[in-house]
Amino acid sequence: MKKRVGILISGRGSNMMALVEAAQAPDYPAEIAVVISSNPTAPGLAWAQQRGLPTVALHHKAYPSREAFDDAVHAELVKARVDLVALAGFMRIQSGAFVRRWAGRQLNIHPSLLPLFKGLHPHQQALDARVKLSGCTVHFVTEEMDSGPIVAQAAVPVLEGDTADTLSKRILVAEHKLYPHALALVARGQATAEGGGVTLGATEDPAAQLFSPQL
Protein backbone atom coordinates (compact mmCIF):
# COMPACT_ATOMS: atom_id res chain seq x y z
CA MET A 1 0.00 0.00 0.00
CA LYS A 2 1.31 3.43 -0.93
CA LYS A 3 2.27 5.82 1.85
CA ARG A 4 0.19 8.98 2.04
CA VAL A 5 2.30 12.14 1.96
CA GLY A 6 1.48 15.64 3.11
CA ILE A 7 3.61 18.36 1.54
CA LEU A 8 4.13 21.67 3.34
CA ILE A 9 5.01 24.73 1.25
CA SER A 10 5.19 28.51 1.52
CA GLY A 11 6.15 29.65 -1.99
CA ARG A 12 6.50 28.33 -5.52
CA GLY A 13 7.01 24.77 -4.33
CA SER A 14 9.34 23.53 -7.05
CA ASN A 15 10.36 20.54 -4.93
CA MET A 16 6.68 19.85 -4.30
CA MET A 17 6.21 19.78 -8.07
CA ALA A 18 9.03 17.24 -8.39
CA LEU A 19 7.41 15.02 -5.74
CA VAL A 20 3.99 15.29 -7.39
CA GLU A 21 5.43 14.37 -10.78
CA ALA A 22 7.33 11.40 -9.32
CA ALA A 23 4.21 10.16 -7.51
CA GLN A 24 2.38 9.84 -10.82
CA ALA A 25 4.46 6.77 -11.69
CA PRO A 26 2.45 3.59 -11.02
CA ASP A 27 5.33 1.96 -9.14
CA TYR A 28 6.13 4.96 -6.94
CA PRO A 29 5.59 3.93 -3.30
CA ALA A 30 3.90 7.16 -2.16
CA GLU A 31 0.92 9.28 -3.11
CA ILE A 32 0.29 12.96 -2.39
CA ALA A 33 -2.58 13.18 0.07
CA VAL A 34 -2.58 16.94 0.68
CA VAL A 35 -0.60 20.10 0.01
CA ILE A 36 -0.67 22.63 2.85
CA SER A 37 0.61 26.18 2.45
CA SER A 38 1.40 28.75 5.13
CA ASN A 39 0.86 31.41 2.47
CA PRO A 40 -2.60 31.59 0.82
CA THR A 41 -1.12 33.29 -2.27
CA ALA A 42 1.75 30.84 -2.77
CA PRO A 43 2.21 30.01 -6.48
CA GLY A 44 2.74 26.38 -5.53
CA LEU A 45 -0.72 26.23 -3.96
CA ALA A 46 -2.35 27.38 -7.20
CA TRP A 47 -0.24 24.86 -9.16
CA ALA A 48 -1.44 22.02 -6.93
CA GLN A 49 -5.06 23.15 -7.17
CA GLN A 50 -4.88 23.20 -10.96
CA ARG A 51 -3.86 19.56 -10.87
CA GLY A 52 -6.74 18.55 -8.66
CA LEU A 53 -4.69 17.84 -5.55
CA PRO A 54 -6.28 18.38 -2.13
CA THR A 55 -4.96 21.70 -0.82
CA VAL A 56 -5.24 23.70 2.38
CA ALA A 57 -4.19 27.31 3.00
CA LEU A 58 -3.38 28.13 6.61
CA HIS A 59 -2.08 31.68 6.93
CA HIS A 60 0.32 31.62 9.86
CA LYS A 61 -0.52 35.24 10.72
CA ALA A 62 -4.09 34.20 11.50
CA TYR A 63 -2.91 32.22 14.52
CA PRO A 64 -1.94 33.66 17.93
CA SER A 65 1.17 31.51 18.32
CA ARG A 66 3.50 29.12 16.55
CA GLU A 67 1.99 26.28 18.56
CA ALA A 68 -1.56 27.20 17.51
CA PHE A 69 -0.52 27.26 13.84
CA ASP A 70 1.27 23.94 14.17
CA ASP A 71 -1.80 22.41 15.83
CA ALA A 72 -3.86 23.48 12.81
CA VAL A 73 -1.33 21.97 10.40
CA HIS A 74 -1.25 18.75 12.42
CA ALA A 75 -5.05 18.54 12.37
CA GLU A 76 -5.11 18.85 8.57
CA LEU A 77 -2.44 16.16 8.21
CA VAL A 78 -4.39 13.81 10.43
CA LYS A 79 -7.59 14.61 8.53
CA ALA A 80 -5.85 13.63 5.29
CA ARG A 81 -4.60 10.38 6.91
CA VAL A 82 -0.99 11.30 6.20
CA ASP A 83 1.82 8.83 6.87
CA LEU A 84 4.79 11.02 5.93
CA VAL A 85 5.39 14.77 5.81
CA ALA A 86 7.67 16.44 3.23
CA LEU A 87 8.77 20.04 3.70
CA ALA A 88 9.24 21.76 0.35
CA GLY A 89 10.22 25.37 0.87
CA PHE A 90 8.17 25.61 4.06
CA MET A 91 9.34 28.87 5.61
CA ARG A 92 8.13 28.31 9.16
CA ILE A 93 10.14 27.15 12.17
CA GLN A 94 8.15 24.35 13.76
CA SER A 95 7.44 23.98 17.45
CA GLY A 96 9.13 21.17 19.33
CA ALA A 97 5.79 19.51 19.96
CA PHE A 98 5.02 19.31 16.25
CA VAL A 99 8.46 17.93 15.40
CA ARG A 100 8.10 15.26 18.07
CA ARG A 101 4.65 14.26 16.79
CA TRP A 102 6.14 13.51 13.38
CA ALA A 103 9.54 12.24 14.47
CA GLY A 104 10.91 9.75 11.96
CA ARG A 105 8.10 10.60 9.55
CA GLN A 106 9.00 14.13 8.41
CA LEU A 107 11.57 15.01 5.76
CA ASN A 108 13.22 18.24 4.67
CA ILE A 109 15.57 19.14 1.83
CA HIS A 110 18.38 21.65 2.38
CA PRO A 111 20.61 23.08 -0.39
CA SER A 112 24.00 22.17 1.03
CA LEU A 113 25.97 19.10 1.97
CA LEU A 114 24.98 19.03 5.62
CA PRO A 115 26.34 19.41 8.21
CA LEU A 116 28.02 22.20 6.25
CA PHE A 117 26.24 25.52 5.66
CA LYS A 118 23.13 25.22 7.80
CA GLY A 119 20.49 27.90 8.01
CA LEU A 120 20.02 30.85 5.70
CA HIS A 121 22.00 31.67 2.54
CA PRO A 122 23.75 28.29 2.19
CA HIS A 123 24.82 29.01 -1.38
CA GLN A 124 26.64 32.19 -0.36
CA GLN A 125 28.10 30.34 2.60
CA ALA A 126 29.54 27.77 0.20
CA LEU A 127 31.01 30.47 -2.02
CA ASP A 128 32.50 32.30 0.94
CA ALA A 129 34.10 29.06 2.14
CA ARG A 130 35.60 28.52 -1.36
CA VAL A 131 34.55 24.87 -1.45
CA LYS A 132 34.74 22.97 -4.73
CA LEU A 133 31.63 20.87 -4.08
CA SER A 134 28.28 21.81 -2.61
CA GLY A 135 24.94 20.10 -3.12
CA CYS A 136 21.77 19.16 -1.30
CA THR A 137 20.67 16.93 1.54
CA VAL A 138 17.40 15.21 2.45
CA HIS A 139 17.16 14.59 6.18
CA PHE A 140 14.66 13.68 8.85
CA VAL A 141 13.43 16.73 10.74
CA THR A 142 14.53 17.17 14.35
CA GLU A 143 14.17 20.05 16.77
CA GLU A 144 17.61 21.39 15.85
CA MET A 145 17.36 23.08 12.45
CA ASP A 146 19.08 21.33 9.54
CA SER A 147 20.57 18.72 11.87
CA GLY A 148 18.41 15.61 11.53
CA PRO A 149 19.61 12.18 10.38
CA ILE A 150 20.64 12.26 6.72
CA VAL A 151 18.73 10.11 4.25
CA ALA A 152 20.45 11.05 0.99
CA GLN A 153 22.77 13.64 -0.55
CA ALA A 154 23.80 14.86 -3.97
CA ALA A 155 27.04 16.71 -4.77
CA VAL A 156 27.16 19.61 -7.23
CA PRO A 157 30.37 21.32 -8.43
CA VAL A 158 31.05 24.92 -7.50
CA LEU A 159 32.35 26.58 -10.66
CA GLU A 160 34.69 29.49 -11.17
CA GLY A 161 32.66 32.69 -11.36
CA ASP A 162 29.62 31.20 -9.64
CA THR A 163 27.23 33.49 -7.84
CA ALA A 164 24.75 32.43 -5.20
CA ASP A 165 22.08 32.53 -7.91
CA THR A 166 23.92 30.38 -10.47
CA LEU A 167 24.93 27.86 -7.82
CA SER A 168 21.38 27.77 -6.49
CA LYS A 169 19.99 26.96 -9.92
CA ARG A 170 22.49 24.14 -10.46
CA ILE A 171 21.76 22.63 -7.05
CA LEU A 172 18.01 22.91 -7.62
CA VAL A 173 18.29 20.52 -10.58
CA ALA A 174 19.83 17.94 -8.24
CA GLU A 175 17.20 18.65 -5.56
CA HIS A 176 14.42 17.73 -7.98
CA LYS A 177 16.02 14.32 -8.50
CA LEU A 178 17.16 13.66 -4.96
CA TYR A 179 13.97 14.46 -3.05
CA PRO A 180 11.68 12.01 -4.88
CA HIS A 181 14.41 9.37 -4.56
CA ALA A 182 14.80 9.91 -0.81
CA LEU A 183 11.05 9.99 -0.19
CA ALA A 184 10.71 6.69 -2.05
CA LEU A 185 13.41 5.11 0.14
CA VAL A 186 11.55 6.17 3.27
CA ALA A 187 8.14 5.15 1.90
CA ARG A 188 9.45 1.67 1.06
CA GLY A 189 11.02 1.29 4.49
CA GLN A 190 14.50 1.23 2.95
CA ALA A 191 15.62 4.27 4.97
CA THR A 192 14.67 4.53 8.62
CA ALA A 193 15.79 6.85 11.41
CA GLU A 194 17.54 4.84 14.11
CA GLY A 195 19.86 5.85 16.92
CA GLY A 196 20.46 9.36 15.63
CA GLY A 197 21.30 8.15 12.13
CA VAL A 198 19.65 6.52 9.15
CA THR A 199 19.76 2.82 8.39
CA LEU A 200 19.65 2.11 4.67
CA GLY A 201 18.55 -1.11 3.04
CA ALA A 202 20.65 -2.83 0.42
CA THR A 203 21.33 -0.86 -2.76
CA GLU A 204 22.09 -2.23 -6.21
CA ASP A 205 25.44 -0.46 -6.41
CA PRO A 206 27.04 0.91 -3.23
CA ALA A 207 29.68 2.72 -5.32
CA ALA A 208 27.50 5.80 -5.75
CA GLN A 209 28.65 8.65 -7.93
CA LEU A 210 27.22 12.08 -7.17
CA PHE A 211 24.07 10.76 -5.51
CA SER A 212 24.22 8.79 -2.31
CA PRO A 213 22.36 6.47 -2.17
CA GLN A 214 22.65 6.14 -5.93
CA LEU A 215 19.56 6.96 -7.97
> Could you say which DSSP state residue 28 is in?
-
Distance, in Å, from the CA atom of 166 to the CA atom of 129, rounded to the nearest integer, reads 16
Going by C-alpha positions, the residue among 198, 170, 182, 172 that lies closest to residue 86 is 182
Q: Is 110 among the catalytic positions?
A: yes
Catalytic residue among 59, 60, 110, 176: 110
Q: Quick check: helix, strand or coil at residue 30?
A: strand
Counting Cβ atoms within 10 Å, is residue 201 exposed (0-12), middle (13-18) or buried (19+)?
exposed
Q: Which residues partner with 35 through β-bridges? A: 7, 55
Q: What angle is formed at CA 120 by the lines to CA 154 and CA 183, rounded to 5 degrees?
A: 35
Distances (CA, A) of 72 to 48, 86, 145, 190, 201: 20, 17, 21, 30, 35
Residues classed as catalytic: 110
